[in-house]
Amino acid sequence: MGASFPATTQVKLSAYLPTNYYGPLGAQPVTSGGPVTTNQIWIYPYVVTQLITFSGVAINCTTGTSGNVQVGLYNDNVGKPGTLIDSTASMAITTPATLTANFAAGNRQLAPGLYWIGSNSDTANSFMGVSGTNAFGPWNIGSATLSHVFSAAAQVNGVSAAQTFGTWPTLVGATLSDLSSTRVPYIALLCASVP
């Protein structure tokens, strides 16, 4: 389960609607995501504001005509990605397009709180990315490198961990690296129901 908000707090910043996709709260998508490094999980925080059931994901490949990408959803572990909740099967990249997939274990009900969502690709394609010029990363992720917090153009917007494509291990204790000059792929979740 993600890091939860206090029980007395009802956080409802938006009303989720079934069949709508929702990007990460506070993140701005940009088309210049840049190529991802293969065999790496690129991941960032995803805030859930009310009890909701998600069924799948969407990710936009901006360049590429081959390869595969998968998406994984993780619990929070004290401000870093923790244990895997679920992942998708491979989404084949045949042309630049928006790709969609369901979670492997079906619908996933999430309580209000902090989670992490990320992707892993077997080919160095480019994806629509999370902007490195808004407060999303410095506020949600933070960094020990001050230039990743104060930069006007290369703020931290995610973290990465080396990992063989197609496998989604726990990330508790994993070596994580800031993503700042290259944008972490922007991922939207599909609302199945409330709750």
21-49: pLDDT as tens digits = 999 988 888 886 667 889 999 999 999 99
pLDDT at position 88 is: 98
pLDDT tens, position by position, 79-124: 999 999 999 999 999 999 999 999 999 999 999 999 999 999 999 9
Distance CA(158)–CA(167), nearest Å, equals: 19
Distance CA(67)–CA(154), nearest Å, equals: 27
Indicate whether 7 pLDDT > 50.
no
Of all residues in the chain, the percent with pLDDT exceeding 90 is 65
* Single-letter amino acid code for the residue at 150: F
Is it true that domain 19-193 has CATH number 1.10.10? no
State the pairing for strand pair 129-130/29-30.
Answer: antiparallel
Determine the length of the chain: 195
pLDDT at position 8 is: 44
pLDDT at position 157 is: 87
The percent helix, strand, coil of the chain (3-state, each to 5) is 5, 45, 50
Distance CA(71)–CA(52), nearest Å, equals: 19
What the block records as the tokens of 99 is 């790709």
